[in-house]
Structure 1
Amino acid sequence: MPATLLSNGAGRQPDLHLVSDDDFVYEQDIQRNPGSTKPWLAYIDFKTQHGSVQEQAFVMERACIQLPRSYKLWKMYLRFRTKHVAKLNAAIFGDEFRKVNALFERALILLNKMPRIWEMYLKFLMQQPLVTLTRRTFDRALRALPITQHNRIWALYRPFANSASGDTAVKIWRRYMQVHPEDAEDFIELLTHVGLFTEAVHKYIDILNNPRFQSKNGKGHYELWSEMVDVLVEHANEVETGYESGIDVERIIRSGIDRFSDQRGKLWAGLATYWIRRGSFERARDIFEEGITTVMTVRDFSLVFDAYTEFEESVIGALMEMASARAEKGVLDEAADFDLDIRMMRFEHLMDRRPFLLNDVLLRQNPNNVAEWEKRVALWGDNSVEVVNTYTDAIAAIQPKKAVGVFHKLWANYAKFYERGGDLRNARVIMEKAVKVPFRSVAELADMWIEWAEMELRNENFDDAMRIMAKAVQAPKRSTVDYFDETLSPQQRVHKSWKLWSFYVDLVESCGSLEDTKKIYERIFELRIATPQTVVNYANLMEENEYFEECFKIYERGLDLFSYPVAFELWNLYLTKAVDRKIGIERLRDLFEQAVEDCPPKFAKIIYLMYGNLEEERGLARHAMRIYERATRAVSDEDRADMFNFYITKSASNFGMPSTRPIYERAIAALPDEEARDMCLKFADMEKRLGEIDRARAIYGHASQFCDPRTNPGFWSKWHEFEVQHGNEDTFKEMLRIKRSVQAKYNTDVNFIASQALAKSQQQQQMEGQEGAAGDEDAEVADAMAALERQARAPVGFVAASDGPKGGNIPPQPVVASNPDAIDIDDMDDD
């Protein structure tokens, strides 16, 4: 046991029993070089390998006595001694630890500038239950070492302070804060842990007032400030406040309310909680009231209001418990009961105010919100005084140019409020003020005038309503005002509002005379604000009053104002009414010529059909055919085929089928391939009915250039039937030759080949997606389909070729390979 490791002092001779014969070599080296550490290090190394613990300690002790300034020897010796007692209990073997402490003290006499020795000593002391000695040793180390080495000491001193806790820790941290203010957050945590909340708040204030402070935990300014407020609120009775302490809690929290607008609800609730914990309930109530009447968001309002109601409920609950306790004891306290009743009434009043308070929040956000002002009016219900006050406040608060919602409705509802009460005089006063408001748009002002007129109509004041509308549309004789000029006020532009004029003319038409109505329509045309609907309405009015010529003039004025496509609808109505009136044919022809003169192809079809129908009914058939012929050139591409068919039908019915031949020829030349093919088939059928077989065959030949046999089999089947019925072998061969040449032409067409390849791939995918049947059944079906296909391809009246000759020796026909145009009878069978 190391109880008697060594006690050699300086200058003592070596104990002979600790020196063996093997040591004389090292002893001689020491004698020869007394000022060198090398022989001592060699000696120590030898003892480490071959000597006992006592011998190692003996040599190290002698070395440190011989060379007391050798850092290397002392470090080796101290590490050896601390390691030797490291596993011992410091409380039980206190003497051994004190010997090592004394050894450290000896080393530090000359090596007090070595931070490593101090670190070893301090770590060794921290293993012992010697708080005071350890603290004083830390202080000695800080005094002995230069300031550049203090960080190494503080790295040990801070954990020691935290473990010591209490005043010791606080005093140590205060010293540490003087050199390392960046660790203030750790110091604050310690202060709150030990209950020094006032000092913690002061430290928070210091770091918040320091713009260069950077939180090592990444906390922002608000987060640190919020933590300080939490300390103030949670420990309201423990934090010293007032002039002497320099802490004004309410001022601190109110400054946060001004700075952190998104946290106002939480801060108002926190400030009220602070006063509740201080026992100032009335002050807390004032804070709650101020909070719910100043917050700007619904979320903040909900936070403050919920905290307010919770506070009131807790107070009422406590008073009710006290009242029940008094009742059990039979004690009567009228003052306490009255106080409870007052608080109950106050709580009920608070809950009743909630919708109004919430509405106040939304109006504080945007006082120009018309919908919220309307809700405010609805909340008051039948309270006439408050309703009028709300309307007055709304009109004063809302800026017309910034109004959100339909501002004129607010004015209208205000007037309707008096109207429902039978006070038309005040309602008219409100309307008169409303039409002078600089609304955001002309449409709103026009709606306001209309609301005023409708109010008079509801009260059967028809003359007043017309007078009001006349005043609304009042304008100079020649107005140069641009309706869309935003630099002018709505009042200067409202006379060009079509909506206003439309209402006015409907009103006069219903309540006034025809002459007055005509004047208004004329005024609309003068101001050049007429719409197609205005033209139609004016014309219908004249027609209803049997002013037919006036009606036609109005349509003509409308056609001068509007171009296509609007003009098409006007022409359609105008021409229909003119034809129905059965005016002179020459005048009608002139109208139709005007209508088709600049008519776009898209709208030409209907007008030409009307024109042609007129000539058929009241004019000459030849004139009608000429019109239909013009129509085939004037209509759009989509309508041209239908127009040709109509023209052909009319020509056939009027002049016979032969008269349609030039029409068919021109149609085939003018139409696209698809439509030309159909026209050729109709042409051929017509010639066939007339007995012109050669002409029909020639038409089939002309149409064949549009028809690929693989994509248009219908055409070739019809030609095939035609040749079977009316042809001979030569004509049939010619058809087959043409068919092969057309097919060859399409085979070299790149676009056709690509489309065929795509169609074939899609067909294969569809076939692969179907479920296969049994193998034998597939074979039978395939054979049957092949036989049917051959039979279908065989021309009617001819016998389909078989696989071989039957019933006779029929020599096969030779095929001349060098002549591709040669026709074999087998080709007829195959086709």
Structure 2
Amino acid sequence: MPGTLLPPRSKRHHAQMERVSAAKPDLYLISSEDIIYEQDLGEDPGSIKPWISYIEYKQQNGTLYEQAFIMERACKQLPRSYKLWKLYLELRISHLRGRNPALHRDEYQKVNGLFERALVLLNKMPRIWEMYLSFLLEQPLVTQTRQTFDRALRALPITQHNRIWKLYKSFARSASGDTAIQIWARYMQVHPETAEDYIELLVELGRYTQAVRKYMEILNDSTFRSKEGKSHFQIWSEMVELLVNKAKKIDTQSYGGIDVEAIIRSGIERFSDQRGRLWAGLATYWITKGNFEKARDVFEEGVTTVMTVRDFTMIFDSYVEFEESIIGTLMDQASIRSKKGKVDEDADFDLDLRMMRFEQLMDRRPFLVNDVLLRQNPNNVIEWEKRVGLWGKNKAEIVNTYAAAIAAINPKKAHGKFHELWVNYAKFYEQGGDLDTARVIFDKAVKVPFKTVAELAETWCEWAEMELRNENFDKAVDIMAKATQAPKKSTVDYFDESLSPQQRVHKSWKLWSFYVDLVESVGTTDETRKIYDRIFELRIATPQTVVNFANLLEENKYFEESFKIYERGLDLFSYPVAFELWNLYLTKAVDRKISIERLRDLFEQALDGCPPKFAKVLYLMYGNLEEERGLARHAMRIYERATRAVSDEDRLEMFNFYITKSASNFGLTSTRPIYERAIAALPDSEAKDMCLKFAEMERRLGEIDRARAIYGHASQFCDPRTNAGFWQKWEAFEVQHGNEDTFKEMLRIKRSVQAQYNTDVNFIASQAIARSQQQRAQENGEADMGDEEADKEQADAMAALERQARAPVGFVAASTGPEGGNRPSGAQQPAPPANVNPDAIDLDDDEDMNE
């Protein structure tokens, strides 16, 4: 009824409303304009349509009371109409909007009652509940609001609960305290995936123990998936951070309390890549709890168990910071006491003790880092050596470190040179003057199953060198003899990994090399020869072994035996190693002046099967021998063989050398067949040069026709545009020795060759590439002139080249008249006589031609 509405702000209007309402309110609220709508209602009172029309009319033309009067009547007439109730409730809510619910509590309660009336029949309408609950959230009625939310959840189907929970969670955060926790706990039963929001609420409310328990619950639930995409470790880290930061406010004492240390230690075992941070967190937990000694124990355990330098650095830095903070606090307290004139011996002693412990901690850092690296890999020889160096002159600890290293390292898995650790161990005693102990160590070292034979051989050599340093030469020889001891016929493969290094060490070249050098220095020649022979028997000789053995015999005047050593070496090695041995062998054999027949036999053996790339040197040595001690024709025959046997790179040089030798021994005419074979054998680029030399030789001999024929043969290799030098030489030759017919023939051949190259695919492709490169250079700004100037200059250049090609030196081009031909630019030339033919050719006399 209108009396239930909040009175309007006009006091006069309010008084008038009260008087009319007391008399006949219905007559007062129904005007003559409403008669038509009242008639419609009378005709069809059960229909919602006339009521809606009536309400819409009043919304436009009626007062607030008139609208409320009509809506009240409509809701009484049709109490199950959602639409009518919604219009009515919205009207009443809008009328109270912006008003203080505490000051106008009665009016708010009236609207609450109106909602209760509506929900009697419309309790399945979620929108009505939402409106009611939103309206209650504006009022300071916590209990009533909570009970109404519970009623809404009970009344509505579960599919509509999300709409209610959206408001209910907002109410819970505003209500705070136990009410919020209970509401969220109920919500978690339906939506366990929102556990992170629940934990956030618990942390905000200071319920840290409950938050940790919820963390533990979701971490133990393998089906839980974070709606924020957090990983299992991220959630676990958040829990640990809460445990550490709120250590004093988390229940750890009561029955079922949280064991923080056990939780963090389980993470240390589980998350190996985060151990440094977790150890530091555990120590911080005890620091927060005020248990400094427990924190120090945790720091010590952390720095002595982590496996990475990164984790160690994190823990150690936290440890140092912790100690510095305690020392700083104690020093501040001592300063205050000194100002007050008080003396506390116990506090001063505690400060000194902590200072000393702090200094020891800093001194221990290199050792602790070394421990970390050795825990990572106990087979790391390099780190064991560094640990020995850290002890400085502490002999007892050095010995203990060597002993620990030898016991810890697996020889097959050693990272680094394990034998050097043994050698340095023995040298430590050697430097102390205890050779007997050093020998015992070496004796144990040579029995170690090293990873490679080379390490075992190095150990034997180091043992012998120790004896040499102490001038025990015989002892050193005995050690090497023992190291190289092997069966008479050894079939052991040096590279057979299935055998131990001790079974294969007798085939180590390094060991035998050291042994033979040692015996050569302190023993006799016969003893040295026996060792060299043994090396050859074991088939481990190298080219250097062959050379050293041969040089040893040569120094002792055993020349023939040194030659035999070279031959033994040549039986062992093939080319290219054999080339170096043959080179030395033949050089020494030639120097010894042995018989020519034997030398020829040696050279023939060397050349038999010699690869072309090595044949040149041997043939030159062979030819030189024949020139000095044999016959010249034999030498020429050898050089002729060389031109066929050498590699393609050396063939031109060999032909030139052969021609030079033949000319010096038998005259120029003897070189003709050599030139002819060279031109036939060499590639075109080299054959062209050989033709020019051949033609020049024939010209010097006066064989002009032969020279011209050679030029004609060579012309097929020379494109006029890329080999202008050849054509200039031929042109000069014809000017000097030819006539008009021969010159024209030369020009005809030149045009023919140029036409041939114009149709050659490779040449056309190369010219196209050249043109494209030139065009690209012009586009990049490398050409300074404009396009028109460049085209003009190019045309002028082409015309000049054409004139030059048509009118060589000594001739006048008919197309250009008196101005044609090749003449220097700017040179003054006399005009030809009027009675002289400008196209005539000035030929020398026959006598000049013959000259």
Partner of 1:694: 705
Q: Which residue does the alignment assign to 2:631?
A: 620
Partner of 1:502: 513
Greater shift after overlay, 778-787 or 626-635? 778-787
> Could you say which residue in structure 1 is the equivalent of 2:342?
331
Aligned partner letter, 2:451: R
Distance 1:758 1:356 in 2: 69
Cα displacement (A) at 1:704 = 2.2
Give matches, 1:56-205, under 5 Å: 56-205=67-216
Is 1:574 matched up with 2:585? Answer: yes
Residues 67 and 711 of structure 1: CA distance in aligned 2, closer, same or farther (over 3 Å) = closer
Q: Is the 8 A contact 2:817 2:838 kept in 1?
A: no
Deviates more, 1:103-112 or 1:380-389: 103-112
Rounded to whole Å, the distance in 1 between the matches of 2:429 and 2:474 is 21
1:407 aligns with one of 399, 408, 418: 418
Kept in 2, the 8 Å contact 1:298–1:362? The answer is yes
2:570 corresponds to 1:559: yes
Whether 1:771 and 2:797 are equivalent positions in the alignment is no
Question: What is the aligned partner in structure 1 of residue 688 from structure 2?
Answer: 677
Counterpart pick for 2:595 among 579, 584, 604: 584
Call closer, same or farther: CA 1:203–1:604 in 2, change over 3 Å: same
Q: State whether residues 453 and 508 of structure 2, in contact with CA within 8 Å, keep that contact through their aligned partners in structure 1.
A: yes
In the aligned structure 1, how far is the partner of 2:794 from the partner of 2:38?
119
Moved over 6 A (4+): 764-768, 773-789, 809-813
- Following superposition, the deviation at residue 736 of structure 1 comes to 2.9
Residues in 2 aligned to 1:141 and 1:808: alpha-carbon distance in whole angstroms: 134
Distance (whole Å) between structure 2 residues aligned to residue 789 and residue 120 of structure 1: 105
1:288 is the counterpart of 2:299: yes
**1:30: which partner in 2?**
41
**Paired amino acid for 2:391:** W
Measured after TM superposition, the shift of residue 761 of structure 1 is 5.3
Aligned to 2:752: 741
Instruction: Indicate yes or no: 2:6 matched with 1:3.
Output: yes
RMSD: 2.8
| 2:181–2:202 Cα contact (<8 Å) kept | yes
Taking the aligned partners of 2:77 and 2:604, their CA distance within structure 1 comes to: 136
For residues 36 and 524 of structure 1, do their structure 2 counterparts lie closer, same or farther at Cα, with a shift above 3 Å needed?
A: same
| Distance (whole Å) between structure 1 residues aligned to residue 260 and residue 662 of structure 2 | 104
* CA distance in 1: counterparts of 2:63 and 2:733, whole angstroms: 132
Counterparts in 2 of 1:716 and 1:396: CA distance versus 1, 3 Å: same
* CA 812–616 in structure 1, closer or farther in 2 if over 3 Å, else same: closer
State whether structure 2 residue 721 is matched by structure 1 residue 710: yes
197-206 or 739-748: bigger deviation: 739-748
Comparing 184-193 with 91-100, which one deviates more in the overlay?
91-100
Q: How far apart, CA to CA, are the structure 1 residues paired with 2:303 and 2:255?
A: 33
Residues 511 and 793 (structure 1 numbering): CA distance in 2 closer, same or farther, change over 3 Å? farther
Task: Provide the residue aligned with 1:808 in structure 2.
Answer: 834
In structure 2, relative to structure 1, the CA distance for the partners of 1:606 and 1:780 (3 Å cut) is: closer
Distance 1:170 1:753 in 2: 91
- Cα deviation, residue 742, structure 1: 2.6
Distance 1:514 1:117, change over 3 A: same
Question: Is the contact between residue 791 and residue 800 of structure 1 (CA under 8 Å) also seen in structure 2?
Answer: no
1:533 pairs with 2:544: yes
String of CA shifts for 1:668-722, please: whole Å, max 9, x gaps.
1111122112112111222222222222222222222222222222222222222
The equivalent residue for 2:14 is none
User: Structure 1, residues 312-332: CA drift from partner, whole Å, max 9, x if none?
Assistant: 111111111222222222222
Q: Flag the 1:782–1:735 CA change in 2: closer, same or farther, 3 A.
A: closer
CA distance in 2, matches of 1:297, 1:594: 66
CA pair 611-277 structure 1, distance change in 2 beyond 3 A: same
CA deviations on 1:279-326 (whole Å, 9 max, x unpaired) are 211111111100000011111111111111111111111111222222
Give the partner amino acid of 1:3: L
Distance 1:794 1:487, change over 3 A: same
Question: Which 5+ residue runs of structure 2 have no aligned equivalent?
Answer: 9-16, 819-831, 843-851
Distance 1:788 1:665, change over 3 A: closer
Instruction: Please give the residue correspondences for 1:596-615 in structure 2 after superposition, counting only pairs within 5 Å.
Output: 596-615=607-626
Contact 1:446 1:494 in 2 (8 A): yes
* Alignment partners' CA distance in 2, 1:660 and 1:577: 33
Q: Separation in 2 of the partners of 1:440 and 1:774?
A: 74
Deviations 1:133-166 (A, max 9, x none): 2223222323333444332211101011112222
Q: Is the Cα contact below 8 Å between 1:575 and 1:592 reproduced in 2?
A: yes
Give 1:802 shift: 7.3
1:55 to 63, 66, 75: 66
CA contact (8 A) 2:639 2:658 kept: yes
Deviates more, 1:110-119 or 1:348-357: 110-119
Cα offset, 1:775, TM superposition: 11
Return closer, same or farther for 1:780/1:216 CA change in 2, 3 Å cut-off.
closer
Partner-residue secondary structure (3-state), 1:564: coil
1:212 is aligned to: 223
**Partner of residue 12, structure 2:** none
In structure 1, stretches of 5+ residues that fail to align are 814-823, 827-831
Cα drift, residue 576 of structure 1: 0.5
Residues in 2 aligned to 1:204 and 1:659: alpha-carbon distance in whole angstroms: 107
**Mapped pair 1:238 → 2:249:** yes
Letter in 2 for 1:769: E
What amino acid sits opposite 2:337 in the alignment?
A: R
- Contact 1:629–1:647, Cα closer than 8 Å, also in 2: yes
Which secondary structure does the structure 2 equivalent of 1:508 belong to?
A: helix
Question: Which secondary structure does the structure 2 equivalent of 1:237 belong to?
Answer: helix
Stretch moving more, 167-176 or 155-164: 167-176
**Residue from 366, 381, 402 that aligns with 1:370:** 381
By how many angstroms is 1:656 displaced?
1.2
Counterpart-to-counterpart distance in 1, 2:806 and 2:838: 21
Within-5 A mapping of 1:480-491: 480-491=491-502
2:594 is paired with a residue whose SS is coil
Q: What is the alpha-carbon distance in structure 2 between the residues aligned to residue 243 and residue 414 of structure 1?
A: 59
- 2:767 & 2:238 partners in 1: Cα distance? 79
Deviations 1:434-464 (A, max 9, x none): 1111111111111111111111111111111
Task: Write the letter of the residue equivalent to 1:706.
Answer: F
Aligned-residue offset at 1:544: 1.2
Counterparts of 2:29 and 2:253, CA distance in 1: 75
Matched, 1:311 2:322: yes
For residue 834 of structure 2, what is the amino acid of its counterpart? Answer: G
- Number of residues of Structure 1 aligned to a counterpart in Structure 2: 812
Name the amino acid aligned to 1:491.
Q
Pick one of 477, 486, 494 that aligns with 2:488: 477
User: What CA distance in whole angstroms lies between the structure 2 residues aligned with 1:387 and 1:679?
Assistant: 78
Q: Secondary structure at the match of 2:6?
A: helix
CA contact (8 A) 2:814 2:838 kept: no
**Given that residues 37 and 54 in structure 2 are in contact (C-alpha distance below 8 angstroms), is that contact kept between their aligned partners in structure 1?**
yes
CA 1:203 to 1:13, structure 2 compared with 1: closer, same or farther past 3 Å? farther
Give SS of 1:15's match: helix
Shift of residue 634, structure 1, vs aligned partner: 0.7
Paired residues for 1:372-411 under 5 Å = 372-411=383-422
In structure 2, how many angstroms separate the alpha carbons of the residues matched to 1:172 and 1:780? 97
Q: Give, in whole Å, the separation in 2 of the partners of 1:143 and 1:709.
A: 108
Q: Is the 8 A contact 2:740 2:841 kept in 1?
A: no
* Correspondence for 2:535: 524
Choose the corresponding residue for 1:274, options 250, 267, 285.
285
| Deviation at residue 485 of structure 1 after TM alignment | 1.1
CA distance in 2, matches of 1:757, 1:147: 83
CA distance in 1, matches of 2:536, 2:588: 22
User: Structure 2: how far apart are the matches of 1:787 and 1:439?
Assistant: 82
